[in-house]
Structure 1
Amino acid sequence: GQGPEGIARGPDGRPAPEARVHFRVARFIMEAGVKLGMRSIPIATACTIYHKFFCETSLDAYDPYLIAMSSIYLAGKVEEQHLRTRDIINVSNRYFNPSGEPLELDSRFWELRDSIVQCELLMLRVLRFQVSFQHPHKYLLHYLVSLKNWLNRHSWQRTPVAVTAWALLRDSYHGGLCLRFQAQHIAVAVLYLALQVYGVEVPAEVEAEKPWWQVFSDDLTKPIIDNIVSDLIQIYTMDTEIP
């Protein structure tokens, strides 16, 4: 599985098959979440519940897409954006059969609905009811505002740093970064990477004489940033390898 040391790798150094499965299923959670009108925090919670569940159990024992559907359902409750199981089933059905008909309310539908509800109870037990998480979103929002005031307006407007940082944060949920690193650290790291991508220099704070990222998060070190960035890059590597 995905241990604390980052994305699991096979003997050839490429991401292990289960990491690829989790990548694909996390993408399903994100796309289904958007179609269900979920906000970004509930989607992030759904992905985190999913990854956390598979840190505790093995991929062979459970259908990852059923776990994903239950994660969406559970995240809706945790984040108080309640979803109907019926909508989750319909959106998922359309995801797998884009040209197919909506599921009839027949025995198959009710079985699936029961499975989602049963699975939710199982997940709550496996996760010992710890299903609310600190996400990096609020920190990133705060850091972006501070940084915008710090940089000159020209270099801020010329480059889509904010858009890129949000995209990196969203994509980080394809893997289990959210379980391995602190929320503040992830927020700083996606910002760090976004600035690097566009070659934007942040002037050091004169009085502080320390790099901007340390001003935002004083217990953050350069090796932690490097680890997060490296995990993010591994996710993008998988994206190019997975059809």
Structure 2
Amino acid sequence: MGVSSPSSTTTPLTPITITSGTSFKRRYKACFTKRQLATLTSLKKSAGLAAKEATARHASCKFIQDVGKKLGFPQTTISTAQALYHRFYVYYSIREYAPQDISVTCVFVASKIEETIKKLKDVFVAVHSVKYPGSKELDPENVSEERRRKIIGYEKLLLETLCFDFQFRHPYEYVIKFVKWVQAFQTLDAKRLAHKAYSLAVDSYRTSLCVEYPAHTIAAGCIYLASRLLKEEDPEFHGLAEEQPWDQLLLSRIDDIEDVCQQILDLYICSGAHNATAQYTRIKIELNEQAHRRGPDPNMDDVTRQEMKARTPDWEFDGTTPLDVVNTNQHTVSYHFSTNAP
């Protein structure tokens, strides 16, 4: 069985000092455990901003989605921009960098990564159109040089945060592959299931799931949740069979699949989406009861279980933190890439 959860021992939580005060080593880390995210929140001194950051995250991801659509970007480019936003704020606080400026930067950088390139002035025009839908179209020549320079500066900072690693995998391709795989050994309304799971995967980028789990695990959770939702809407719907070992077939731990479902349901409950709060709450309760009956994963040791356990940041550093030092330009940084063959 494939294990989807990131290991806490393969890469450092934060850049590590190799020559005191002057040189740091940074490695790109694809996924973070819940404990690592809580620790980073404490290092950012953002423990008291959790609600504000969540509100900003939802608003910014919707803003990125609207700007991306205005620019005619495919969903892959939009999702890359949203993933960039989440990854940036793993290390930085909204107290230091305005979410809207970072959102614009993420759209601009994502267009380059996904080779759907737009000029920065075109991005500014789309941003103005989304912010002021009834107003006259912005003349790009009216954009101040200071604003352009700010976004270019943030672009450099964002690229450094990524450790110049531009490999993004999205759950969409796995949704299609998994549905086709399941259809091969059971009766399935494949088209409806894939369409619903794809929609859930799009919405998953309004949460921080993309920095917690690999794309195939997010896809597995979206398919699992889509099947439950469609079965409730239509009793005749042929979804995932109850008796199958979906953790093995979808190459992810069942706890992780359920956590993906839970976070998407939390998003819908908080936003009041689809006027189905009661339904989403009931499914959350059912998933909790299912997990309780199953018990803890017998293949997971206590240390890893604590690493994966949800945790609310409850402490902050006094004075300068290691992350404060790393997030400055007063040192030399070396970026290290994986040498493993694909």
User: TM-score per shorter chain, which class?
Assistant: 0.7 to 0.9
The count of corresponding residues between Structure 1 and Structure 2 is: 224
Where do 1:58-69 residues align within 5 Å?
58-69=93-104
Distance in 2, matches of 1:82 and 1:178, equals 23
* Post-superposition offset of 1:51: 0.5
- Any idea what the Cα deviations from partners look like across 1:7-60, whole Å, max 9, x if unmatched? 99xxxxxx7121111111011111111111111211111111111001110111
The residue number in structure 1 matching 2:240 is: 202
Superposed CA RMSD: 2.5
The residue number in structure 2 matching 1:189 is: 221
* Post-superposition offset of 1:201: 4.2
The answer to whether the Cα contact below 8 Å between 2:125 and 2:139 also exists between their aligned partners in 1 is no
The residue number in structure 1 matching 2:121 is: 86
**Secondary structure of the corresponding residue to residue 80 of structure 1:** coil
1:216 aligns with 2:245: no
The residue number in structure 1 matching 2:175 is: 140
The answer to whether the Cα contact below 8 Å between 1:143 and 1:216 also exists between their aligned partners in 2 is yes
Matched to 2:250, the amino acid is: F
Distance in 1, matches of 2:179 and 2:247, equals 12
Distance in 2, matches of 1:203 and 1:228, equals 19
Aligned residues: percent identity? 26
TM-score under structure 1 length normalisation: 0.83
The residue number in structure 2 matching 1:23 is: 58
Distance in 1, matches of 2:116 and 2:93, equals 29
Q: Which runs of 5+ in 2 are unaligned?
A: 1-31, 39-49, 232-237, 274-342
1:235 aligns with 2:267: yes
The answer to whether the Cα contact below 8 Å between 2:121 and 2:140 also exists between their aligned partners in 1 is no
The answer to whether the Cα contact below 8 Å between 1:165 and 1:191 also exists between their aligned partners in 2 is yes
**Secondary structure of the corresponding residue to residue 93 of structure 1:** helix
The residue number in structure 1 matching 2:202 is: 170
Matched to 2:212, the amino acid is: R
The answer to whether the Cα contact below 8 Å between 2:193 and 2:239 also exists between their aligned partners in 1 is no
* Post-superposition offset of 1:187: 0.7
Greater Rg over alpha carbons, structure? 2
Shift in alpha-carbon separation, 1:4–1:96, aligned structure 2, 3 A? farther
The answer to whether the Cα contact below 8 Å between 1:20 and 1:238 also exists between their aligned partners in 2 is no
Distance in 2, matches of 1:134 and 1:81, equals 16
TM-score under structure 2 length normalisation: 0.60
**Secondary structure of the corresponding residue to residue 198 of structure 1:** helix
Shift in alpha-carbon separation, 1:114–1:175, aligned structure 2, 3 A? same
Matched to 2:34, the amino acid is: E
The answer to whether the Cα contact below 8 Å between 1:188 and 1:216 also exists between their aligned partners in 2 is yes
